[in-house]
Amino acid sequence: MVFSSNIFLFMFLPMVLMLYYNPFCRGRKFRNVLLLLASLFFYAWGEPLFVWLMIISIIAGWQAGLKITKADSPGERKLWLTLGTIFHLGMLFVFKYLTFAAAQLGLLLQKDFSAIHLALPIGISFFTFQLLSYLFDIYYGKASAQKNVLHVGLYISLFPQLIAGPIVRYADIEREILYRQETRQDFTNGMIRFSYGLAKKTLLANYLAIIAMQSRFMSDQEPLSIAAAWLGAVAYTLQIYFDFSGYSDMAIGLGQMFGFHFRENFNYPYISRSVTEFWRRWHISLSSWFRDYVYIPLGGSRCSRSRLALNLFIVWSLTGFWHGANWTFLLWGLIYFLLLILEKFTGFTDRLGILGHVYTMLAVIMAWVVFQFPSLEQSLSYLGMMWGLPGNPFFDELAAHFLASGWLVWLMGLIFSLPIYPWAAKHCPLWHSVAEPCLAAALFVLSVIATVAGNYNPFIYFNF
């Protein structure tokens, strides 16, 4: 079940809201149990078998957290943290990476391991990282272990952020599980935020996806013109931003509607003037997770240059493979490792000024080309088309079609990847009281029309 589907918008969400805010049962226990059951149903709708995997992971994390709290010595605390970490990473490896590892071993040994093929449970990377943050926060004293397994279950399975994040830290919503206060203002803000996210997905990402998919398909048939290749790459660059930031907006908005406050996950990353700045603005919950739980424990940047390079190599190798079991994801992560090393060791972006934005966007767009293709050969072939193969035309009918058929989407995509919202909120006196509610209502209606009429609807990050 996806947020931008008819069944979610017109059946699941209205039913949950009516039950949650019914005038007869308003207790915290009732509302928490209702949200837990609704979240499990939400996940089981698309993953009827793997919901049991998530429940097992929740129980294991709950028990490990209690053991860490009750341990009599630092050594015992570390032992239970280690066992909990191994269990959850082991589950992630088996279901996300075992098929890939078996295939690579088969190539090495020249044997057929194709029988080892496991389906990928949706959202396993996200709820695994949340369970790990739960254990780490308890171990480092940032939060207390929950004695009630239902509260741990609610934290992990909460449907707004279950499938594709943002990765919510346990320490951030520990008190809200038991003591949150739902307010009319939060509910209104949540509805507006949800409408923005829905519009990003249905009115921009879904249409940009058509151009991106057409360019990928056509590039496998014959070489694209330079313009068509660049338009396809830019379309994917905008698509993945509006797709994922749209999901994050919807998740944050839904959380507010139920009294939860999740941290921001995107901060206009395409205005960045360096790759370092880009990763402070893109998928903030993931980059901060690796920073706090991997990079800093390894020593961070307070070390020699060689150790700093090793720390960044480990972090970006893991970041690449976190997105999927494929060598192109590892290469994508290592591209950012090399760029970040270059920026940290030379500081050249400080001297580029506005050209830093050009450099960053070129790097990001080309990295997305590597990210989106299943093989390195396809990625290199497409990059070759972008930079001009011998005899490759600059412009052709396909490029003209991409521009003519989607000019309004291109324009809106470019405009709304800029910080228009903060500017409007600051300079328009009637923004919050009049303009924003009207805009959100109009976007919601248009999004619903697009949802009913559209065919393409999956979220990109469901795959990761």
Give the Cα separation of 274 and 167 in Å (integer).
24
Give the Cα separation of 455 and 451 in Å (integer).
8
- 306: tokens are 């060689």
Give the Cα separation of 294 and 322 in Å (integer).
13
Q: What are phi and psi of 458, to 5 degrees?
A: -70, 150
SS3 content of the chain, % helix, strand, coil (to 5): 75, 0, 25
Q: Are 94 and 110 in contact (CB under 8 A)?
A: no
Cα dist from 290 to 144, 286, 384, whole Å: 22, 6, 33
- 50: tokens are 């793997």
DSSP conformation class of 391: T
Q: Are 227 and 215 in contact (CB under 8 A)?
A: no
Evaluated on CA atoms 436, 437, 441, 444, the torsion sign reads positive
261 is catalytic: no
Residue 18, classified by CB atoms within 10 Å of its CB into exposed (0-12), middle (13-18) or buried (19+), is exposed
Between helix 407-416 and helix 226-257 the angle, nearest 10°, is 60
Catalytic residue among 261, 323, 427, 432: 323
Q: Which of 12, 5, 121 is nearest to 457 (CA)?
A: 5
Q: Which of 202, 223, 231, 214 is nearest to 410 (CA)?
A: 231
Question: What DSSP element (H or E) covers 62?
Answer: helix 50-70
Tally of CB atoms within 10 A around 370: 21
The residues near 412 (Cβ < 8 Å, ≥ 6 apart) are 203, 204
Give the Cα separation of 40 and 46 in Å (integer).
11
Residues annotated as catalytic (active site), given as ranges: 323
